[in-house]
């Protein structure tokens, strides 16, 4: 089952997860990524497809290889903890891929928060950091509340028009929150502050498809559904008008004014709280369950089957996928051709 925000009438192909992981790992390894990091990135991308988040899935490998070749990211670089001062950490990605850096950030922050109850971590000098909900979901299962806020290099990633404007000034400035839930799983909010994540525009362009209405404008401020109009000086609109714009600007201040000048793609602030330091986890889960029950008991609106808790859909889609992802045929053929071109 494919859940996609791109409007695409072409052929989709079904691929076994192991085949997709293997090909992507091979591409990354042949580009110079250390094997363990290549496997981590490949697994992350394929899992995004399984969860219905095509914008952060396998198609991203095409962009990553272009960024390796241009020198934007360094395939051989890996992240490390460059500062550890009580509850404050800095993860330096050394201009390498951002998914291993974000993996290290969540892992390191959770380790500190287990004993010190809270950890504040900045993640710097990294490339694309992937689907943040994957990390938040995992650590919320272990009882951690996490809040991630990020901003990009505005000189490179001018993507979103501020509210009332018609030229791109801001990155997509994502937020991600993970909160422990009940047996149904955690609450996971993972969203761009724009009407659509930039990855969906790349996915639509690559597949030869279109975008939903009211997501982008062309360079003259006119509404468009054509990816080419965005790449020709257009903009993504802020989500919910001034609300998305305000959240984006706050994220930009946090990522640059607070953390410092941005290198590579973006800076990130991760807050990790050990909820068991505030309240017993069993009690928290029981109270969360009562809240969940109340919310999902809501009568569904026309066109909806039911109300879901954020994060449930991704877990459900992963389960229903049965180890199979589907991609636009053009995208998959390009990935396979890239792998073949890199075979030594």
Cα separation of 101 and 78, whole Å?
7
Cα separation of 178 and 190, whole Å?
8
Is residue 136 assigned to a domain? yes
Find where tokens 């808790």 sit. 309
Is residue 303 assigned to a domain? yes
Positions of the chain with pLDDT lower than 50, given as ranges: 1-2
Query: How many CA atoms lie less than 13 Å away from 266 in the CB half-sphere?
Result: 29
Is residue 6 assigned to a domain? no
Tell me the Cα Rg of the chain.
20
Is residue 143 assigned to a domain? yes
Cα separation of 293 and 304, whole Å?
18
Is residue 96 assigned to a domain? yes
Residue 48, domain extent:
12-342
| Contact between residue 169 and residue 194 where contact means Cβ atoms under 8 Å apart | no
Residue 118, strand partner residues: 273
Number of domains, the chain: 1
Mean pLDDT of the chain: 95
Residue 13: φ, ψ to 5°: -115, 145
Find where tokens 């801001």 sit. 170
Phi-psi region of 313 (alpha: psi -120 to 50; beta: other; left: phi over 0): alpha
Cα separation of 196 and 122, whole Å?
25
Is residue 5 assigned to a domain? no
Cα separation of 170 and 134, whole Å?
24
Question: 106 to each of 126, 152, 157, how far by Cα in Å?
Answer: 15, 19, 25
Helix, strand, or coil (residue 171): coil
Cα separation of 325 and 303, whole Å?
25
Cα separation of 120 and 122, whole Å?
7
Residue 95: φ, ψ to 5°: 65, 20
Structure tokens at 151: 């901003």
Is residue 131 assigned to a domain? yes
Per-residue pLDDT tens for 117-136?
999 999 999 999 999 999 99
Cα separation of 21 and 156, whole Å?
29
Cα separation of 59 and 327, whole Å?
8
Q: If residue 103 lies in a helix (H) or strand (E), which one and from where to where? A: helix 98-116
Is residue 315 assigned to a domain? yes
Per-residue burial over 292-301, b = 16 or more CB atoms within 10 Å of its CB, e = otherwise? beeeeeeeee
Q: pLDDT value at position 2?
A: 45
CATH of the domain at 136: 3.30.1370.60
């Amino acid at each position: 089952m494919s859940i996609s925000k791109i409007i695409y009438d072409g052929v989709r192909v079904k691929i076994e997860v192991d085949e997709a992981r293997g090909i992507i790992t091979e591409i990354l390894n042949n580009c110079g990524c250390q094997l363990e990091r290549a496997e981590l990135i490949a697994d992350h991308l394929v899992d995004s497809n399984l969860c219905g988040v095509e914008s952060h899935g396998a198609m991203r490998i095409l962009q990553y290889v272009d960024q390796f070749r241009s020198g934007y990211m360094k395939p051989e670089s890996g992240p490390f903890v460059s500062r550890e001062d009580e509850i404050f950490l800095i993860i330096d990605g050394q201009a390498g891929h951002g998914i291993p850096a974000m993996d290290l950030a969540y892992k390191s922050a959770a380790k500190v928060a287990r004993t010190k109850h809270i950890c504040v971590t900045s993640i710097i000098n990294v490339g694309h950091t992937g689907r943040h909900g994957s990390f938040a979901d995992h650590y919320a299962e272990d009882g951690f509340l996490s809040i991630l806020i990020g901003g990009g290099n505005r000189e490179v990633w001018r993507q979103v028009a501020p509210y009332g404007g018609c030229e791109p000034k801001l990155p997509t400035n994502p937020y991600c929150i993970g909160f422990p839930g009940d047996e149904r799983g955690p609450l996971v909010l993972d969203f761009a502050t724009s009407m659509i994540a930039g990855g969906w525009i790349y996915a639509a362009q690559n597949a030869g498809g279109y975008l939903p209405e009211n997501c982008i404008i062309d360079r003259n401020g006119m509404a468009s559904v054509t990816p080419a109009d965005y790449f020709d000086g257009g903009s993504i609109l802020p989500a919910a008008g001034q609300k998305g714009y305000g959240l984006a600007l706050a994220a930009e201040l946090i990522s640059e004014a607070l953390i410092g000048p941005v290198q590579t793609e973006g800076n990130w602030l991760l807050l990790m709280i050990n909820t068991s330091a505030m309240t017993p986890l069993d009690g928290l889960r029981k109270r969360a369950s009562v809240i969940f029950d109340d919310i999902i008991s809501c009568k569904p609106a026309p066109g909806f089957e039911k109300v879901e808790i954020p994060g449930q859909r991704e877990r459900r889609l992963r389960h229903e996928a049965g180890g199979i992802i589907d991609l636009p045929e053009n995208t998959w053929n390009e990935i396979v051709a890239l792998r073949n071109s890199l075979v030594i």
